[in-house]
A and B are shown apart, each in its own frame.
Chain A
Amino acid sequence: MATREEITNRCQDLYDDLDFTAARTWKDAEPGRHVIGYMPMYVPREIIHAAGMLPLGILGGGDQLEVIQGDAYYQSYICRIPRSTVELLLTDRIDFVDGMLFPSICDVIRNLSGMWKLLRPDVYAHYFDVPQNYMKDVGGEFYIHELNVLKEDLEKISGNKVTNEALKNSIELYNENRRLTRELYKFRADNPWLAPSSEVYLINRAGMVIPVEEHNVLITDYIEAARQEDRPKRDNSRVVISGSFCEQPPINLIKSIEMSGCYVVDDDYMLVNRWFTKPVPTDGDPIQALSYTFLEASVKMPSCFEPNEDIKGQFLVDLVRETNAEGVIFAAASFCDPALLERPILQDVLNQVDIPHVSFKYAENTGQMQPIREQAGTFADSIKLWS
Chain B
Amino acid sequence: MTDFTLRVDQNKYLPVGSGDVHAIVTVEASGPIERAAPVQAAEIIIVDASGSMGYDKIAEARKAAQAAIDTLRDGVHFAVIAGTHEAEIVFPDRAVLVPATPQSRHAAKEAVARLVSGGGTSMGRWLRLAADLFSEYQRAYPGAIKHAILLTDGKNEYERAPEFAANLSYCAGKFVCDCRGVGVDWVVAELRQIASTLLGSVMDIRRPEDLEADFRAMTQAAMGKTVADVALRLWTPRAAKLSFVKQVSPALEDLTGRRTEVDELTGDYPTGAWGGESREYHISVRVPAGNVGQEMRAGLVRLVLPESGEVLAKGNILAQWSDDPVQSTRINPRVAHYTGQQELASLIQEGLQARNDGDLDTATARLGKARAIAEKAGNEETAKLLDKVVEVDPATGTARLRRDVDKADEIALDTRSVRTVRMRKDPEA
A binds B: no
